[in-house]
Amino acid sequence: MSDQLEQWAIVPSGVWDGQSLLKDKAVIIEGEYISAIVDVGSLKDISRIDLVGMTLLPGLIDAHVHLSDWMLPSFLAAGVTTVRDTGNNLEWVLNVRERTKVDPLSGPTIQCCGPTLDGSLVNWPKISLANSSRDEIIKNVQNLVAAGVDAIKLYVNLDKNLMASAVETAHSLSKYVLAHLGGVNALDASSIAVDEIEHLTGCIHHEHGGESPFSDSDYLDECIEQFLQNKTTMCPTLMVWDRLSRINESTFFYDKRLEWVHPHIRSAWARFPHRNLDPELKMKRQESLITMKRALREISRRGCRIVIGTDTPWPYVIPGFAVHDELALIVESGIDPKDAIRMATNDAADVLGLTGEIGVIKPGAIANLMAVVGNPLEDISRISNVKFVTHRGHNIRLEHLTAIRDSGFQLPLKDAISELIVGVADTKQLPKSPPVVFNNLSN
C-alpha cells in the first residue's frame, strides 16, 4: 500500500503518543490525519495493519540538515518525516520543499532557512550571504522572508550588532532565528533573543589553536540561567564531533547504511581531510565530544529545551539514520531515552512552529508515524530497527524508496551541498573560522 486509503487502522503492540506508552490501542488514519485512537477490541469493518512486537511513535524530526536530492528517500527509510534545512541555495531548497509537499512519497516534509547570513567574510559562498552593515543584513532578512523561508540562520562571522539587527528584523516578521556562533558568545546571543544555538557554540570551547577543550562550570551555569530566562533552545549535533574525531574507524566505512549515500559522496567522505589530522588533534576532538556530553546533560537537567539535529551530510552522518545515532549519543550523555525521543518529536515540532501537528500521536495530528521492533523508551538502540513509516497518511514502502534512491544515484551531483562536500574532499581545506568565544563575558 503506497497510496492513501480513505480510512484504515494501525495496530501495534504499543503506541507512544509523545507523552505516554499506550497498550491495546489502534490508531485510525483518515487521509493525511489521525482521526482517532481507539481500543483494539472496538475495531470492526476497517482495513488494518498489525505491527506485532512493535512500538508506534511519531515520525522523527531532524532540525539541522543541509539537503541534497539524493538524501530524500533515506530520511523516510529511517522514519524521519520532517527536516529543517539550515543553510542552502535559496531557489533550490524552496523548489525541493514544494516537491515533497506535492508528493509525500518523494521525501520528508521540509522547512528551510535558505542561505545562512554571515559577516563580511563568508565561509561557505554557495550557501551564504555576506553582510557588512546593519542596512545590508536587515535587507537580506526581509528578502529571505519575502521569498518564503521558514526561519533565519545566522553564521559565525557576524558580530553582535549585526546579529542583533538580524534578530530584531526577523522577529518583527514573525520568523524564528537560529545561530551557529563564532565571534559572539552564548550569553550575548541569548541576551539579544537568538531563539536557538547550534552545536553548543559559544558556551563550549572546542579545540582551537592547539588548546584543549574545556567547560567552565560557572560560565556554563550563567549560560543556562540566561537560556531559561530567554527560552533559548539548544541543538547540539553531537554526531559531527563524533564522526570527525573517529573518521578512520572501519565501523563507519563498512556501515551497511552507506547504501543510502550517493557513491560520489561516499568517495568524498573517504578522501576527507580530517582523515589525516595530527593524532593529538584528533584526540582533542574526542575530548570535545566528552565535554559537550557533560554540558548537555546539565543543560537538560536544568530544564532547557534541546532539539535533535545531525548536520547531515558531514562524513558518515548518514541522512535520516544519523538521527538514530544522535539519539544514542544523547542517551550516552546521561539523558533518559524518553526525553531524548521527545527532543526529536514534540519538542522539535514546537521549535518548527508545528505544535500538535507533528511530533505527537493524537486525533487531528498529521499522520507522520514510524514503528520499530521493541521498545526504544527502554533501549534507545531499538529506534534503529524501523519497519513501518507513514508520511502524511501514506504508508511508505521500502521498495519504493530504494527505487527512488537507485534512480537518483544515476544522476550527476549538481546541488550546492554536494558540491561543497566534494570540494572539501578535493581541496583538502576547510574555511577558517574565528575562535569560539567562551569565557569573555563582555559586551
Domain boundaries, the chain: 59-358+410-427
Going by pLDDT thresholds of 50, 70 and 90, the confidence category of residue 370 is very high
Query: CB-hemisphere CA count at 13 Å for 245?
Result: 18
Instruction: Compute CA 172 distance to the chain's CA centroid, rounded to the nearest angstrom.
Output: 25
Q: For residues 209 and 94, which has the higher predicted lDDT (pLDDT)?
A: 94
Cβ contact 42:2 at 8 Å: no
What is the tens place of the pLDDT at every residue in 414-431?
999 999 999 999 987 776
Q: For residues 5 and 173, which has the higher predicted lDDT (pLDDT)?
A: 173
SS (H, E, C) the chain: CCCCCCCEEEEEEEEECCCCEEECEEEEEECCEEEEEEEHHHCCCCEEEEEEEEEEEECEEEEEECCCHHHHHHHHHCCEEEEEECCCCHHHHHHHHHHHHHCCCCCCEEEECCCEECCCCCCCHHHEECCCCHHHHHHHHHHHHHHCCCEEEECCCCCHHHHHHHHHHHHHCCCEEEECCCCCCHHHHHHCCCCEEECCCCCCECCCCCCCCECCHHHHHHHHHHHHHHCCEEECCHHHHHHHHCCCCHHHHCCHHHHHCCHHHHHHHHCCHHHHCCHHHHHHHHHHHHHHHHHHHHHHHCCCCECCCCCECCCCCCCCHHHHHHHHHHHHCCCCHHHHHHHCCHHHHHHCCCECCECCCCCCCECCEEEEECCCCCCHHHHHCEEEEEECCEECCHHHHHHHHHHHCCCCCCCHHHHHHHHHHHHCCCCCCCCCCCCCCCC
pTM: 0.94
Q: For residues 437 and 85, which has the higher predicted lDDT (pLDDT)?
A: 85
- The three-point CA angle 398-403-404 to 5° equals 100
What is the tens place of the pLDDT at every residue in 118-144?
999 999 999 999 999 999 999 999 999
Mean pLDDT of 146-162: 98
Q: Which residues have C-beta within 8 Å of that of residue 30, sequence separation ≥ 6?
A: 6, 7, 393
Please give the backbone phi and psi of residue 176, each rounded to the nearest 5 degrees, phi first: -70, 145
Checking if the pLDDT of 325 tops 70, the result is yes
What is the tens place of the pLDDT at every residue in 218-247?
899 999 999 999 999 999 999 999 999 899
Q: Which residues have C-beta within 8 Å of that of residue 6, sequence separation ≥ 6?
A: 30, 31
Residues of the chain with pLDDT > 70: what percent? 93
Going by pLDDT thresholds of 50, 70 and 90, the confidence category of residue 366 is very high
Going by pLDDT thresholds of 50, 70 and 90, the confidence category of residue 278 is confident
What is the tens place of the pLDDT at every residue in 20-78?
999 999 999 999 999 999 999 999 889 999 999 999 999 999 999 999 999 999 999 99
- pLDDT (0 to 100) of residue 91: 98
- pLDDT (0 to 100) of residue 1: 39
What is the tens place of the pLDDT at every residue in 63-117?
999 999 999 999 999 999 999 999 999 999 999 999 999 999 999 999 999 999 9
Going by pLDDT thresholds of 50, 70 and 90, the confidence category of residue 442 is very low
Going by pLDDT thresholds of 50, 70 and 90, the confidence category of residue 356 is very high
Going by pLDDT thresholds of 50, 70 and 90, the confidence category of residue 404 is very high
- pLDDT (0 to 100) of residue 434: 44
Q: Does domain 59-358+410-427 have CATH number 3.30.70.20?
A: no
Checking if the pLDDT of 439 tops 70, the result is no
- pLDDT (0 to 100) of residue 216: 72
- Please state, rounded to an integer, the average pLDDT across all residues of the chain: 93
Is 432 buried (19+), middle (13-18) or exposed (0-12) by CB count in 10 A? exposed
